[in-house]
Amino acid sequence: MEIKTVGVIGAGQMGNGIAHVMAVAGYEVLLNDISADNLTKAVALIDRNLDRQVQREKISAATKADAMARIQTTTTLTDLGPTDLVIEAATERETVKIAIFEDLLPHLKPNTILTSNTSSISITKLASRTDRPEKFMGFHFMNPVPVMQLVELIRGIATDEATYLACLSVVEKLGKTAASAEDFPAFIVNRILMPMINEAVYTLYEGVGSVKSIDESMKLGANHPMGPLELADFIGLDTCLAIMNVLHDGLADTKYRPCPLLTKYVEAGWLGRKTQRGFYDYRGETPVPTR
C-alpha cells in the first residue's frame, strides 16, 4: 500500500514534530487536536522550526514553503477518516488513546493503517480495541522529532508484514532509521533509558550526589550529551513516571519501582521544562538546581 496522506492526532510536542517531518518528506498532513488554539500554536512552531532549518541550510526556502502548504488542521477527529496512515500522538494515557481510536474507527477507509506514538503502552492491547489489529502498530518517534534520527517500529501480536513494510518505507522516506522492537513494556529505548533516569533520581533521593554533580558526572564521565536529570526535565517528569509505572506493572520486577522523589515532584506539578520547574528551575536566565 502506498501512503500519501497522513493524519496526526495531537498537536503537542510530539504531534507538531511528526507533522513537520511528514510534510517535509512530501506527505499531505492533516493535524488534529481538540483545541483550535493548540493547532494555531503548533503551525506557528512548525513554521519557526522550518525557518531555523532554512537558516542552517538543512532545507531550501522552497522546501519550507511546500511543506507548510501540505499541512492542514482540524478539530474534528473524524476528518482523518480518508487518510492512508494515522499516527496517534495524544496524551500518554491508555484510556484516552482507546477512546480516540473508538471514535475514529467508523470513519476510516478499510485499508487505513492505524499507529500510536506511545512510548510504553502495549500495542497489542491498543490494537485489540480496533477493527484492524493486523493493520495496527507502534510508530514511536524520539523527541525532538525533526532532530532525532531513530523511530521505533513495534509490531503487536497481530500486525501483518504488509503493515510493517509500509511503515518502514515511511521511516526511510523521512530519512530516519527504524529499530524494530517487540511489544514488551517500554520497547527498547525507554526500557533502557527510564531505569537509568529513575536510578539517577534515587541517587539524588539518597543523598549520594546533588543534581549538579549527578548530571556533570554522566556528561563528563560517560560522555552523555545531557545529564539524566536534565534529560528527565526535557522529557517531562510525568512522562518518566508514567513509563516507570508501565515497566513496574508490566514486568512485576522491583528494580522498576519509581523513585518516591520522582512521584513527589510530579505530585507538586514540577514536571520539568514545560512547567518551568523540575529538577531545575527554569524561571530565570539560566537553569538552577532545585535540590
Inform me whether the pLDDT recorded for 1 exceeds 90.
no
Does the annotation list 276 as a binding residue? no
Confirm whether 140 is a catalytic residue. Answer: yes
Name the percent of the chain lying above pLDDT 70.
100
Does the annotation list 122 as a binding residue? no
The residue from 49, 152, 198, 230 that is catalytic is 152
**Degrees (nearest 5) of the Cα angle 86, 130, 154?**
60
Does the annotation list 11 as a binding residue? yes
- Cα separation, 26 vs 97, in Å, equals 27
pLDDT value at residue 80: 98
Confirm whether 152 is a catalytic residue. Answer: yes
Range of the domain at 70: 5-182
CATH of residue 71's domain is 3.40.50.720
Inform me whether the pLDDT recorded for 120 exceeds 90.
no
Global pTM? 0.91
pLDDT value at residue 105: 97
Listed residues 158, 182, 206: the one ending a domain: 182
User: Is 107 strand, coil or helix?
Assistant: helix
Contacts of 137 (CB under 8 A, 6+ apart): 113, 115, 123, 127, 153, 154, 155, 156, 159, 163, 164, 167
* Pair (108, 247) in one structural domain: no
Listed residues 131, 163, 182: the one ending a domain: 182
Confirm whether 111 is a catalytic residue. Answer: no
Catalogue the long-range contacts made by 11-15 (C-beta closer than 8 Å, 24 or more residues apart).
11/35, 11/38, 11/39, 11/41, 11/42, 11/73, 12/38, 12/42, 12/89, 13/143, 13/144, 13/274, 14/89, 14/117, 14/141, 14/143, 14/145, 15/42, 15/89, 15/90, 15/117
Q: Tell me the mean pLDDT in the region 200-210.
A: 98
The residue from 49, 119, 122, 198 that is catalytic is 119
Pairing label, strands 177-182, 28-32: unpaired
Q: For 26-48, what is each residue's pLDDT tens digit?
A: 999 999 999 999 999 999 999 99
Listed residues 159, 182, 205: the one ending a domain: 182
* Pair (51, 99) in one structural domain: yes
CATH of residue 255's domain is 1.10.1040.10
* Pair (161, 270) in one structural domain: no
* Pair (94, 211) in one structural domain: no
- Looking at every residue in the chain, the average pLDDT score rounds to 97
* Pair (235, 258) in one structural domain: yes
pLDDT value at residue 224: 97
Inform me whether the pLDDT recorded for 239 exceeds 80.
yes
The residue from 20, 49, 140, 230 that is catalytic is 140
pLDDT value at residue 268: 98
* Pair (26, 151) in one structural domain: yes
Total tally of structural domains belonging to the chain: 2
Does the annotation list 10 as a binding residue? yes
* Pair (203, 172) in one structural domain: no
- Cα separation, 190 vs 106, in Å, equals 33
Inform me whether the pLDDT recorded for 171 exceeds 80.
yes
Does the annotation list 15 as a binding residue? yes
Confirm whether 248 is a catalytic residue. Answer: no
* Pair (243, 100) in one structural domain: no
* Pair (160, 70) in one structural domain: yes
Q: Tell me the mean pLDDT in the region 117-143.
A: 96
* Pair (29, 137) in one structural domain: yes
* Pair (122, 170) in one structural domain: yes
pLDDT value at residue 48: 97
* Pair (79, 112) in one structural domain: yes
